[in-house]
Amino acid sequence: MRDAALELPVRSALPPLEEALDGHGAAVLCAPPGTGKTTLVPLALAGLTGPAGGPDRGRVIVAEPRRIAARAAARRMAWLLGESVGGTVGYRVRGDRAVSSRTRVEVVTTGVLLQRLQRDQELAGVGTVVLDECHERHLDADTAAAFLLDVRETLRPDLRLVAASATTDAGGWARLLGGAPVVEAHGTAHPVETVWAPPPRPVRPPHGTRVDPALLAHVASVVRRALAERDGDVLCFLPGVGEIARVAGALDGLRALGVDVLQVHGRAPAAVQDAVLSPGGRRRVVLATSVAESSLTVPGVRVVVDSGLARDLAAAWRSARGGGGRAAAESGGGYAARWRAEARRLRSLAGDAAGEAGPVRLRTDDQVAGAVAALAFPERVGRVEGGSCLMAGGTRAEVPEGSPLRAASWLAVAVADRPVGQGHARIRLAAVVDEEVARRAAAPLLAEGEEVRWADGDVVARRVERLGAVELTVRPLRDAEPARIRAALLDGLRREGLGLLRWSRDAEVLRQRLAFLRGRLGDPWPDVSDEALLARAREWLEPELGRARRRADLGRIDAGQGLVRLLPWASGEGARLDELAPERLEVPSGSRIRVDYADPERPVLAVKLQEMFGSAGSPSVAGVPVVVHLLSPAGRPVAVTADLASFWREGYRGVRAELRGRYPRHPWPEDPATAVPTRHTNARLRREGG
């Protein structure tokens, strides 16, 4: 058990909790966020918190309302034990699991728990069930709680139950559990500063699922202000996927400033959910629905931006369909006006069974069902293409083979799942809608704008009308802003590498020479690694980059010309490039031989052996002896040395004995240190001498 567990405030509540369970078999645990309620308590109930572990009390099942919370809790508990998930601690959620025969604490979603109760009412091998975040009332959780109470009463009186929450009706749960004791844990209070940041101009109030774009733009500006004025990460609460996408788009430029923008909601990929719970070296903005409000403790957050927006669609739909819902709307206190307006809007859209007139006429039950599904799940309206449906929320789901839904153009998906091992979701229940209904139901996701980005290996500039992830209309953008084109080109360089530029032989050699000087002398000689060059791309690729519009233009930019701009001209050192790292060295024969800087720590000079006669020592560059590759008259390496004088004394005789018979036309003096260097044959030497 890691020392971090000893610092969790809930530890003081463990003895009274165990006492309550031993005496009553059930308990209500009230613990503020961040106290360790979700992570330390299950380990203690499983007997895993002692110095060498404790008695095996049977498997502990922890039920969480959401998948992201289940995975996060399991990962945190495994970390406290110094293990990986799937060992002592595991999880099981829809479409994903990590459990083994050694697992003693299993974190599941309430939906998975309910399915298990239907298969195995006795919960064989389970000693304790923890209903975490029990204040989040929904059908799966309420049904699972009812089943568990029935199981305890009729089949498993020994089964221990814990209802845990940070903000729960303790008295109500205690009565539900048969007068169970209430155990409270007290957290550590931290000072909180509240800053009100109203929009600078009036905005339209939310209407149904529609939110004024000006309000979302203001939320984005508040996030930017928080980043500028405070340290740490920023957590921003928004009502739904559409609003998250809008604000994320407004914050698109933050990544270039070292800030990651993460979009977290119930359907976010597991990798994104994991990244939220594992802070790295970069700052983060976490845009979240209420999934993070009580189910997760997001580490690193120092500022919370609350948009003040929330969904009330289900209640409004009940109002629109008449009966008790309409009465509730009429008596809704301060919210009555909004509820009445929402009810009128939905009635105008859905009509009634008689075909009431409205902006969209829905005369059949199928049409009404499609509208209801679209209004309930606006992020799940999608367009059908080639046997699959791309939903506005970004998920692609397969339409079953042989289904009449394949002939539809648009669907509102009510139920979909993702089978284990498959890349796409699978539609289980959907209704046909037309594009007009889709546009109206998912209106907050409707956006039109210019897109300039690097995609499919080139700059793509277009004007796009989108319904979330679904592209409705696309037109080429002829007059894209140069700055956005430049940003797309830089993104392309980052993705595909500096090979997009034109690297001549001279440019490659210059880069190698600069790398040698950087390694040998350091500043002010520039770092020319890929990472450093990409980071300074604007500096050394202008003005050519400013004139480029597409991939082909990058291929016409001379990288060598750009590298020259990075030389330390201001200090005067740039003028010493040829002195410190010459491209060629003059050898004793008078030839100027190219130096190979491919290895920045060991420059190489490949030269014919006869051209080095008379040289007492090896040449050097920037104080570093050059490694001399001595070549035969045919240009093949015969010796490698960084100490030429030593080679003349000790290695030359063997080379002379081996090669003088093979190359008799070339000079092979007995004392090369005093011989005349030459690049010619004996006959040529005689002609020149005579």
CATH code at position 274: 3.40.50.300
Parent domain of 520: 491-579
- Whether residue 293 contacts residue 238, with contact meaning beta carbons closer than 8 Å, is answered with no
Q: Please identify which residue in the block is written with the tokens 């989108």.
A: 466
Residues 141 and 90 in one domain: yes
Task: Give pLDDT, residue 485.
Answer: 93
| Rounded Cα distance, 28 and 184, in Å | 8
Mean pLDDT check: name the lowest of 63-77, 458-472, 553-567, 600-614.
Answer: 63-77
DSSP-assigned beta bridge partners for residue 310: none
Residues 560 and 588 in one domain: no
| Rounded Cα distance, 568 and 604, in Å | 25
**Is there a domain that residue 241 lies in?**
yes
Residues 650 and 618 in one domain: yes
Query: If DSSP codes are grouped into helix, strand and coil, which group holds residue 494?
Result: helix
Residues 544 and 678 in one domain: no
Task: Give pLDDT, residue 316.
Answer: 34
- Pairing mode, if any, of strands 425-433 and 410-417? antiparallel
From the list 423, 360, 433, the residue with the least C-alpha distance to 397 is 423
* 605 band by pLDDT with thresholds 50, 70 and 90: very high
Q: How many domains is the chain partitioned into structurally?
A: 5
**Is there a domain that residue 269 lies in?**
yes
**Is there a domain that residue 373 lies in?**
no
Task: State whether the Cα torsion 53-54-58-63 is positive or negative.
Answer: negative
Select from 528, 557, 579 the last residue of a domain.
579
**Is there a domain that residue 124 lies in?**
yes
**Is there a domain that residue 392 lies in?**
no
In the chain, what is the greatest distance between 2 CA atoms, to the nearest angstrom? 123
**Is there a domain that residue 327 lies in?**
no
Task: Give pLDDT, residue 317.
Answer: 34
Task: Give pLDDT, residue 424.
Answer: 74
pTM: 0.46
Select from 458, 479, 500 the last residue of a domain.
479
Residues 296 and 161 in one domain: no
pLDDT at residue 315 greater than cutoff 50: no
Select from 272, 306, 340 the last residue of a domain.
306
Q: For the chain, what is the mean pLDDT?
A: 84
Residues 27 and 116 in one domain: yes
- Whether residue 310 contacts residue 290, with contact meaning beta carbons closer than 8 Å, is answered with yes
Task: Give pLDDT, residue 279.
Answer: 66
Task: Give pLDDT, residue 83.
Answer: 92
CA torsion, ordered 142, 147, 151, 154, to nearest 10 deg? 110
- Whole-angstrom CA distances from 289 to 63, 296, 455, 530, 648 are 20, 11, 29, 38, 77
Residues 593 and 680 in one domain: yes
* 367 band by pLDDT with thresholds 50, 70 and 90: confident
At 387-439, the pLDDT tens digits run: 999 999 888 999 999 899 999 999 999 888 877 666 678 898 899 999 999 99
Residues 646 and 633 in one domain: yes
